[in-house]
Structure 1
């Protein structure tokens, strides 16, 4: 990083010649040195701006402990990088009161056992600082061009956050106003390491007006805005045992936050939905390393997992009319937010939305799902299919449950859409065959069983397939079937004999009637209208 710290200055030969010893503030040696200032004043705070390394011989310093503490308080309050005391002129050793005061304020105190030329120290350090500032400007130009390029090509938020993490070498998280981690770039760590107890930890770090260190963990925080209002913020987390944040870290985070603000003005702003969709898809296909990582990622988006029943829901809207200004997913998210139900809501594909509801274990899930289903079907039409997987108590079980919900959604055809929602027990023979309607083996079976009958009806304008269906639906009761078909028994019997002749079958055989019933049911599934492009089977 192109900046000097107190520790860097202590390693310079011009300082090392004075045999420096750190008497206080050892853990703060990573502070950035913005400038070097030589003073023997007892009240120098009015001449300082913060970040200075103070050089003094202690000539006018009082022996009064209270005044020494007041002197240290001034320096600490203004934010100086450290205090260097040269022994030999005023003090033969550092006053204990001065050491104690520096320790209490965590201010680095460096004692020089031998005299050095302060003018050489300032010249050397200032030259290095100016070189570092020049390098920082060049680096800032490169970073600015990089984020500008991402903005111009309409990059997604994951790219902005990932780029910031790569440049800084530190984890970076984009969160919204309610402390949900929308995007996490762990920079070599796992999501679990970064997002542990995220909402609670995040609330401890206040949001400054511009990039600055905040909170007990020393996070670097920058606001992200949208049309003049605060949308969320970008956070950079320090590495354990790594150096403190310096000017380059701040510059990178500011550039990234500005780019994200511009992206919200010029691009599609539904970043929360993207984050929910990403986690739902990762759960559906179980792309997590372990259960902990999955739990932390879900909880970072506000979904409680411990002590809750998790209910996966798949909403298939392929046959619904084209959406207007509001998509099905956005409508569901708004509905659940209004009702106060905790859930992840996202897109599973172009034709399907997914919900993962987190409900109290003692509560019934059916009323919640029915309310959701009735609302979305009222808004987008009765062709919307709502399929529900079994409720689970472990996040690792969600994958199986989600896939079961998808299988149910695949099985619900036009003739099975009357109820608000469907579960696995609703999948009977018609639904099973509907889900298999694109299977070539099913198509061949239908052709072998009914092909001659369908061709005969097509050539002669007949109704033999209708008669067969009525007969099978009546479980082989000819009288009931003839009455339902509106035919006399004699005319009905004659058609049955024609069917037997064409198909080479015996309709008195229960086994053969079963085979034909399956074939007729499958034919109805094959004749169902297609569900649009990209339909999974």
Structure 2
């Protein structure tokens, strides 16, 4: 047997295990190769260490092979050079273990037919995997196959690393924001990635192989027991891979890669991904003026308002990870609709007003010309004075704005309902209508028939209904210069009283009777029918809101 595997013929690719492609080769991977499986390998000791990485394969028939090793080698031997005495065997195993050999494979064909007990004991004591081969194996062919696999994987790793650098360079060149950067990191690594600030608030979380709930539950406590670290390294009880994120030369926060599933170590590519993530985030911080805390609040607010979370537990975990109280609180959606000023300025102003009022809240622009806030209220904290103050302040600056609220909810996962109700109230707010005394904001209780029809004014079915009910009457007024529509309105407003209708229209009883008969003829209806009067009243109300400007 040759002592130096470097004299072997060029590596071959036959018999390679495609399952190992793209990752370091372990002892277990080598044992699964067909070229070694023919020898009927049996693990005698060190079964718990078969995940050791194999850097190279070394064939040896020397009594001191360790002097030719550098660590990580899979040592192949026929057993011929093994010392006869137990002390010599222990020294042989100690030298292999001290140099960091991955495993020892001994062929039980020539000298031994069962492994010596002294060898078994020495390997078990030192935790060195000992594998026996019951049948003859071509060691040279083993080295060719394993070396081809190792070199191929190294080349693949270099190509993947290059692709990682190219991907993050592309993200930076197109001005990607922090959400895109963190999402790309999670996709590339297949692991959960979290961006947090210095006070351990999780601003962005991209789960992979887990849920937001699993990733963020009890986040602040778990993060605080994980040291900050000055460079990329696995730290803390959960062995998170962490890399600091700087801004203008000072530490701003850190990006964290979670072990998924727990306990699975990180490879060089994970480190590359996270380091490039931190670099891309630093550049994004310089090119995106909006603070990431505000961006995180806006994103969380939109997810809650549009119910984009995967589960109620995910919503609660993300909310709490932002440093907001998700338990023992009440939640209220507030919307400001209408053109006010630049979204970022409006968000900042509203956030400041809420801080002055002592109210915790998520604030963000939900859509163009629509600003939203989710108020987080203590159990005994009244919300009406706060909302009234906000509404009056907004209306003083922007009289055309519409401030609306939903109903209170006790579960953060139910806030989408409160936002829907606030949106319905805003959509039904008829311009120019006065609210009850002492109130400057709209709520669901304000929605009556007129408000409901105003909210539905763009629905063609409402428009068609108005035309079908009143079109002939309106056309008659236009052609003949009459005012029958007004007469009908007075009659319906008077609940069918002709006397009251005549008085309101300054008409005689004979005139009102004549006009109403004309209306009945044109509309082919009986105005004595309560149902028909209701239909016409709805149509008139809809016509009014359709003409509202």
Residue 277 of structure 2: aligned partner: 256
Residue 379 of structure 2: aligned partner: 361
Could you state the TM-score of these two structures normalised by the residue count of structure 2? 0.66
Residue 59 of structure 1: aligned partner: none
1:184-206 Cα deviation digits (max 9, x unpaired)? 22222111111111122223334
Whether 1:345 aligns to 2:363 is yes
Secondary structure in 2 matching 1:383? coil
Secondary structure in 2 matching 1:434? helix
Query: Closer, same or farther in 2 for the Cα pair 1:32/1:258, shift >3 Å?
Result: farther
Whether 1:451 aligns to 2:471 is yes
Given that 1:213 and 1:221 are in contact with CA atoms closer than 8 Å, whether structure 2 keeps it comes out as yes
Residue 181 of structure 2: aligned partner: 160
Instruction: Give ranges in structure 2 of 5+ residues lacking alignment.
Output: 1-21, 30-42, 56-69, 73-88, 98-124, 131-148
1:399-445 Cα deviation digits (max 9, x unpaired)? 33332332222222214464522222111111111122223332233
Residue 216 of structure 2: aligned partner: 195
Residue 389 of structure 1: aligned partner: 406
Determine the C-alpha separation between the residues in 2 that align with 1:227 and 1:244.
32
Determine the C-alpha separation between the residues in 1 that align with 2:27 and 2:531.
90
How far 1:135 moved relative to its partner? 7.5
Residue 519 of structure 1: aligned partner: 539
1:502-529 Cα deviation digits (max 9, x unpaired)? 3536667655544333222111111123
Report which stretch shifted further, 305-314 or 331-340.
Answer: 331-340
Residue 405 of structure 1: aligned partner: 422
Whether 1:528 aligns to 2:545 is no
Query: Closer, same or farther in 2 for the Cα pair 1:325/1:384, shift >3 Å?
Result: closer
* Equivalent in 176, 184, 195 of residue 205 of structure 2: 184
Whether 1:433 aligns to 2:450 is no
Write the mapping of 1:133-148 to structure 2, written as runs, cut at 5 A. Answer: 139-148=160-169
Given that 1:312 and 1:401 are in contact with CA atoms closer than 8 Å, whether structure 2 keeps it comes out as yes
Determine the C-alpha separation between the residues in 1 that align with 2:218 and 2:366.
27
How far 1:256 moved relative to its partner? 0.7
How far 1:259 moved relative to its partner? 0.8
Determine the C-alpha separation between the residues in 2 that align with 1:32 and 1:177.
40
Write the mapping of 1:29-428 to structure 2, written as runs, cut at 5 A. Answer: 88=91, 139-267=160-288, 269=290, 271-317=292-338, 320=339, 323-324=341-342, 326=344, 328-379=346-397, 381-416=398-433, 418=435, 419-428=439-448
Secondary structure in 1 matching 2:367? coil
Determine the C-alpha separation between the residues in 2 that align with 1:111 and 1:197.
38
How far 1:177 moved relative to its partner? 3.8
How far 1:261 moved relative to its partner? 1.5
Determine the C-alpha separation between the residues in 2 that align with 1:217 and 1:361.
35
Determine the C-alpha separation between the residues in 2 that align with 1:386 and 1:294.
26
Instruction: Give ranges in structure 1 of 5+ residues lacking alignment.
Output: 9-18, 34-51, 55-85, 95-108, 115-127, 530-537
Query: Closer, same or farther in 2 for the Cα pair 1:400/1:155, shift >3 Å?
Result: same
Query: Closer, same or farther in 2 for the Cα pair 1:7/1:469, shift >3 Å?
Result: same
Given that 1:87 and 1:112 are in contact with CA atoms closer than 8 Å, whether structure 2 keeps it comes out as no
Residue 97 of structure 1: aligned partner: none
Q: How well do the aligned residues superpose, as a CA RMSD in angstroms?
A: 4.9
How far 1:334 moved relative to its partner? 4.1
Query: Closer, same or farther in 2 for the Cα pair 1:482/1:495, shift >3 Å?
Result: closer
1:3-58 Cα deviation digits (max 9, x unpaired)? 799999xxxxxxxxxx9999xxx99x98999xxxxxxxxxxxxxxxxxx989xxxx
Secondary structure in 1 matching 2:179? helix
Query: Closer, same or farther in 2 for the Cα pair 1:506/1:187, shift >3 Å?
Result: closer
Determine the C-alpha separation between the residues in 2 that align with 1:191 and 1:113.
39
Given that 1:176 and 1:233 are in contact with CA atoms closer than 8 Å, whether structure 2 keeps it comes out as yes
Kindly name which structure, 1 or 2, has the bigger radius of gyration based on alpha carbons. 2
Determine the C-alpha separation between the residues in 2 that align with 1:524 and 1:200.
59
How far 1:182 moved relative to its partner? 2.5
* Equivalent in 515, 530, 536 of residue 498 of structure 1: 515
1:357-394 Cα deviation digits (max 9, x unpaired)? 22112222222222332333334x23322222221212
How far 1:465 moved relative to its partner? 3.8
How many aligned positions are there? 446
Query: Closer, same or farther in 2 for the Cα pair 1:190/1:469, shift >3 Å?
Result: same
Query: Closer, same or farther in 2 for the Cα pair 1:461/1:275, shift >3 Å?
Result: farther
Given that 1:449 and 1:503 are in contact with CA atoms closer than 8 Å, whether structure 2 keeps it comes out as no
How far 1:351 moved relative to its partner? 4.0
Given that 1:284 and 1:398 are in contact with CA atoms closer than 8 Å, whether structure 2 keeps it comes out as yes
Query: Closer, same or farther in 2 for the Cα pair 1:519/1:252, shift >3 Å?
Result: same
Query: Closer, same or farther in 2 for the Cα pair 1:266/1:112, shift >3 Å?
Result: closer
